[in-house]
A and B are shown apart, each in its own frame.
Chain A
Amino acid sequence: MEKQLLRFKVNGDEYEVYINPKTLLAEVIRDHLGFTGTKRGCETVSCGACTVNVNGFSVKSCSVLAIQCQDMDVTTVEGLEKNGKLSPIQRAFLDNGSYQCGFCTPGMLMSSTAFLEELKGEVPTEEKIRESIEGNVCRCTGYNSIVRAIDAVAQGKYKEE
C-alpha cells in the first residue's frame, strides 16, 4: 500500500508523517507522535476517551482517518497547558476532583474546552453543560464533579495564567 504524506499541526507544532491511508487519527497521535494522553477506549465512536479537537471542533479520533486531517490544526490534551501552566479547565478539574481512574479525563477535558470556547463568555445552564459532555462516558460515575468544574470555568472563576 503506497504511503501518504500527512502534513498537519498538533499542539501548535508542524508534523510530517508518512502513513498508510487507513491509519486512524488516534493511532497517529499516540503511536507515531507519542502523545499518549489521548486514550483509545471503545473504538466504536461511543465512549469519547479519544476526543481531540480538530480546527477547534471536538471529534472522536478513533473514528477519523488521519489522512483527512491534512493541513488541519489538532489539539490533544497535551496542548492545553501553556508555558508550563495548566489551562483553566484543567485547574478546575483538579480543584473539583473531577476524575477517579482518569481514563476519561483527556476526552472530558477536550470536550469541555471546545464547549467553553464556543460559549464566548455566555454562562450556560446545567443542562447545556451536561449536553456538552454527552459524547463522553465516565465509568467511575464522576459526572457531577465534572459538571461543577465546567460550571466554575464558565462562571469566570478560573482565568488563563
Chain B
Amino acid sequence: MINDFHYLKPASLKEALAMYAEHDDCKVICGGQSLLIVMRQGMVAPEYLLDIKHVKELSYIKFDEKDGLRIGATTTHREIEKSDIIAKKYPVLVAMEEKLASIQTRNWGTIGGNLAHADPAGDPGPVLIALNAEIKFGNSGGEKVVPLDEFFVDYFETQMEHGDLVLEVHVPTPEPKFGCAYQKFNLLDSDMGIVAAAASVTLNADGTCKDARIVLGNAGPIPLRVTKAEDLLKGKKLDDALFAQAGTIASEECAPVADIHASEEHRRHVLGVLTKRMLKKAFEQAQKSA
C-alpha cells in the first residue's frame, strides 16, 4: 500500500527546482518504474512527491559531431532505443536499451530516473561509464557536471543532495578506433542482470591500446570500474592472453554479494568471463572502426 503524499506538479524546470528546494520530505518521480515499487513496499514514504514527467525542457536527444551526444533526463528508454542517431553513433546504447526490462517499462521509464535511482544492477550506468559519459545535475542555486563514474556513491546513493535533479547525460564523440560492448548475465532477457560487464577499447594508430575501460554491473555497491585491469591493457598490443588476465583481475577486484539468484563465487566467475569476452568484442570493433 502506497502511503499518502502531497502531489506537486511543476510547469517548468525552474518551478520544479524551486518546489524541491521548498519541501524537505520530498521525492522526485518521473516514470516511477523503480520508485513506485519501493513506495508500494513502504520503504519510501515521502510527504511530498514532485512529478517531473511532464517537464518537456528535459526531454531531448541532441547530437553534434564535435560535442557528442546529449540526452535530457526525462527522455524515455524507448526514445533512446528508437533513436536513429544513437543507433548510428552509439550502437551499444541501443543494444543495452533493447534488453532493459520490458517494452512497457522502457515506454514510461526515463534515463534520468534510472541513474538517480542508482541501483548497481541498472544497465545504463556501466555502459555510459564505459563510454566516458558525464552527468549534469543541479538545484535552484546552480548546476554541476561530474564524470558518471564519480556520480555513484553507494547502493542507491549518488552525489546528489536534497534539491538536486538529474538534468542531462553527456556522451563525448568516440575517438577514432574505438569499440564498446556490454552484456548482462541473466536467465530471462528482460530481468535485471545477475551480473554484467561493459568494456571499451581505444587503439592508437600503431594498434596498441590507448585507453580501456572495464565497468562491472551488480558486482558491488556501485557500477564498478576495474582500474587495475584497465592499467594492465594500456600501451600494450592486445591479445586473448591479456583479456583473460584482465578477466581474472576483474573477478578478484569485484565485490558482489550472494543472493537467491547466485552465490558470490558464481558471480565472480561469470564477471571474469564477461570481462574477457566484452574486451575482445570491444577490441574487434575498435580494429574495424575508422
Q: List chain A positions with a Cβ less than 8 A from chain B.
A: 1-2, 4, 20-22, 24, 43-45, 48, 51, 54, 57-60, 63-65, 67-68, 70, 111, 114, 131-132, 134-136
Which residue from chain A places its CB closest to the CB of B189 in the assembled complex? A134
Of A20, A65, A135, the residue contacting B105 (CB under 8 A) is: A135
**C-alpha spacing A65/B49, complex, angstroms:** 11
Would you give 10 A-B contacts (Cβ < 8 Å), ordered by A? A1-B5, A21-B49, A22-B2, A45-B102, A45-B104, A54-B108, A57-B107, A65-B32, A67-B9, A111-B103
B107 and A58: CB pair below 8 A?
A: yes
**C-alpha spacing A114/B108, complex, angstroms:** 14
Of B37, B54, B78, B102, the residue contacting A48 (CB under 8 A) is: B102
**List of A residues within 8 angstroms of B54 by Cβ:** 68, 70
What 1/0 mask marks residues of chain B from 27 to 59 whose CB sits below 8 Å from any chain A CB? 001001100110010000000010101100000
Is B6 interfacial (CB-CB < 8 Å)? Answer: yes
Is B65 interfacial (CB-CB < 8 Å)? Answer: no
Interface residues of B in 129-153 (CB under 8 A from A): none
Is B64 interfacial (CB-CB < 8 Å)? Answer: no
**C-alpha spacing A136/B104, complex, angstroms:** 9
Of listed B29, B32, B103, residue having the most chain A CB within 10 A: B103
**List of A residues within 8 angstroms of B6 by Cβ:** 1-2, 21
What 1/0 mask marks residues of chain B from 188 to 218 whose CB sits below 8 Å from any chain A CB? 0110000000000000000000000000000
Query: Top 4 nearest A-B pairs by Cβ distance?
Result: A135-B102, A21-B7, A57-B107, A1-B4
Least Cβ distance of B2 to chain A in Å? 4
B29 and A65: CB pair below 8 A?
A: yes
B4 and A20: CB pair below 8 A?
A: yes
Known interface pairs A21-B49, A45-B104, A64-B108; 7 further A-B residue pairs with C-beta atoms within 8 A, sorted by A's residue number: A22-B3, A48-B104, A57-B107, A58-B107, A59-B107, A60-B102, A65-B51
**List of A residues within 8 angstroms of B104 by Cβ:** 45, 48, 51, 58-60, 111, 135
Is B93 interfacial (CB-CB < 8 Å)? Answer: no
Is B224 interfacial (CB-CB < 8 Å)? Answer: no
Of listed A21, A57, A58, A63, residue having the most chain B CB within 10 A: A63
Least Cβ distance of B145 to chain A in Å? 29
Which residue from chain B places its CB closest to the CB of A115 in the assembled complex? B103
**C-alpha spacing A24/B54, complex, angstroms:** 17
Of A1, A2, A44, the residue contacting B37 (CB under 8 A) is: A44
Which residue from chain B places its CB closest to the CB of A43 in the assembled complex? B40
Is B101 interfacial (CB-CB < 8 Å)? Answer: yes
Which residue from chain A places its CB closest to the CB of B29 in the assembled complex? A65
**List of B residues within 8 angstroms of A68 by Cβ:** 29, 32, 51, 53-54
Of A22, A43, A135, the residue contacting B103 (CB under 8 A) is: A135
